[in-house]
Amino acid sequence: MAKELIAMILAGGKGTRLYELTRKDAKPAVHFGGKYRIIDYALSNCAHSGLDTVGVLAQYESISLSRYIGNGEKWGLNGVRSNTVTIPPRQTESGSNWFIGTADAIYQNLEFIDSYDPENVLILSGDHIYRMDYSKMLETHLHNNADLTIAVIDVTLEEAKRFGILSADENDRITEFVEKPPKPKSTLASMGIYIFNYKVLRQALVNDAKDEKSDHDFGKNIIPTMLAKKKRLFVHRFKGYWKDVGTVDSLWEANMDLIEMMDEDFYAGDKHYFRLFSEDTNSVPQYIGKKAKVTNSVVNQGAIILGTVDGSIISNEVFIEVGAVVKDSVIMPGVTVGRNAFINKAIVANDLIVPDDMQINVAGEKVLLVHEGVVK
């Protein structure tokens, strides 16, 4: 049976700018917000948007990511009428190749997409933090009879240098697209969320694969080529929180933002947001000691706090000893913070033991990633 829309999530990035956090995990599998993983956002959005077929394209450290995603049960994307598949690069009759670029990753999996005979394909990144109803974007796409619809968000002129930047006319039809322009003409930024008419996409990918000079990338090649060929490209304007967490600073900022958004029910879900689904760690209840002090923080189950925590994200199985102070920091799962230790404006990587009396980033001039090389 033909499907109106299926989703393909690009989740193969190594995430080199997150350094030690992605040494053993793909970036989408990095812990976030005390309880979650980054990829929980894209998958939860798919579930709430009524999508029932999701392909997750994994590459770097694909085993850990595949193990976490499983059959999609955590997000309700499993069962007789739904399907979640993790797809790493594989050997075929034509050989065995790593995904070269974002477009190549989809091209190498055209057979998978063909098997569902979709009218449209939603292409997402697995490493962004946001809530979105893709069914609303599909409505925009169908209303405009579009070949491609790109979700966009307004950014500052300085930020615009980091994104694919679009210009659109009064009907929201895209008139210009430039990938990471040094001098942006617009502040309308691509979110890396696309809905393609599948027939148009398929032909574009086949043509691009034959071009030896191509980077096989959506932003650099596929979109500019479609625009040059006068295809129908439109924007879908998104108003809400969205963050690319590709760096240590942006990951820390997004965690801090979540603390401030707790009053807006960003986690639990209200009329504006969806509830976020994730893995249940089956941890014991959190415990906050008699002399402990916790203010303006998110503390997950399984955490034991005997010291002081302020403005921080505390993940599961974290142990903060008597006299320890954690301020404006993100503590990943399994961390122990020793007696009278002090941590300020930092991200502490999984399963570390911070020794007694250790002082970390006291001045707090910039965000510090704390890993084995720091605490030795």
Q: Which CATH class is domain 282-375?
A: mainly beta
Helix segments in the chain, DSSP class H:
40-48, 62-69, 102-107, 110-114, 134-143, 198-209, 223-228, 248-261, 372-375
370 touches 349 (CB < 8 A): yes
Q: What is the pLDDT of residue 92?
A: 58
Q: What is the pLDDT of residue 271?
A: 47
* Cα-to-chain-centroid distance, residue 330: 17
The pair of structure tokens assigned to 120 is 């449209």
Task: Give me the torsion for CA of 216, 200, 190, 132, rounded to 10°.
Answer: -120
Q: Give CA–CA dist 76/71, Å, rounded.
A: 9
Buried b / exposed e along 352-364 (16+ C-beta atoms within 10 A): bebeeebebbeee
Q: What is the pLDDT along the chain (376 residues), one digit of tens a residue?
A: 458 999 999 986 665 778 788 887 788 989 999 999 999 999 999 999 999 899 999 877 678 888 888 888 888 887 666 788 888 776 555 555 778 889 999 999 999 999 999 999 999 999 899 999 999 999 999 999 999 999 999 999 988 988 999 999 999 999 999 999 999 999 999 999 999 999 999 999 999 999 999 999 999 999 999 999 999 999 999 988 999 998 999 999 999 999 988 766 555 544 445 688 898 888 999 999 999 999 999 999 999 999 999 999 999 999 999 999 999 999 999 999 999 999 999 999 999 999 999 999 999 999 999 998 777 6
Q: What angle do CA 35, 65, 44 make, to 5 degrees?
A: 50
DSSP designation for 20: G
196 touches 218 (CB < 8 A): no
**Cα-flanking dihedrals φ and ψ of residue 311, to 5°?**
60, 40
Closest listed residue to residue 70, CA positions, set 334, 279, 281: 279
Q: What homologous superfamily is domain 5-262 in, according to CATH?
A: Spore Coat Polysaccharide Biosynthesis Protein SpsA; Chain A (3.90.550.10)
Q: What pTM value is reported for the model?
A: 0.92
The pair of structure tokens assigned to 253 is 């900022």
For the purposes of burial, counting CB atoms within 10 Å of the CB of 272, is it exposed (0-12), middle (13-18) or buried (19 or more)? Answer: exposed
Which tens digit of pLDDT belongs to each residue from 236-295? 999 889 999 989 999 999 999 999 887 665 555 444 456 888 988 889 999 999 999 999
Q: What is the pLDDT of residue 194?
A: 98
Q: Give CA–CA dist 344/337, Å, rounded.
A: 12
Which tens digit of pLDDT belongs to each residue from 156-197? 998 898 899 999 999 999 999 999 999 999 999 999 999 999
Give SS3 for 233.
strand
In the chain, where are the structural domains located?
5-262, 282-375
Give SS3 for 177.
strand
The pair of structure tokens assigned to 340 is 């009278």
Strands (E), 11-133: 31-32, 36-37, 53-57, 83-87, 91-92, 95-96, 120-125, 128-130
Residue 336 region, left (φ>0) first, then alpha (ψ -120 to 50), else beta? beta
For the purposes of burial, counting CB atoms within 10 Å of the CB of 124, is it exposed (0-12), middle (13-18) or buried (19 or more)? Answer: buried
The pair of structure tokens assigned to 201 is 């996409």
Question: Would you tell me how many other CB atoms lie within 10 Å of the CB of residue 262?
Answer: 13
Q: What angle do CA 175, 45, 2 make, to 5 degrees?
A: 75
Helix, strand, coil share (%) of the chain residues, nearest 5: 25, 30, 45
Q: How far, CA to CA in Å, does 169 sit from each of 25, 139, 173, 288, 361? A: 42, 19, 5, 55, 48
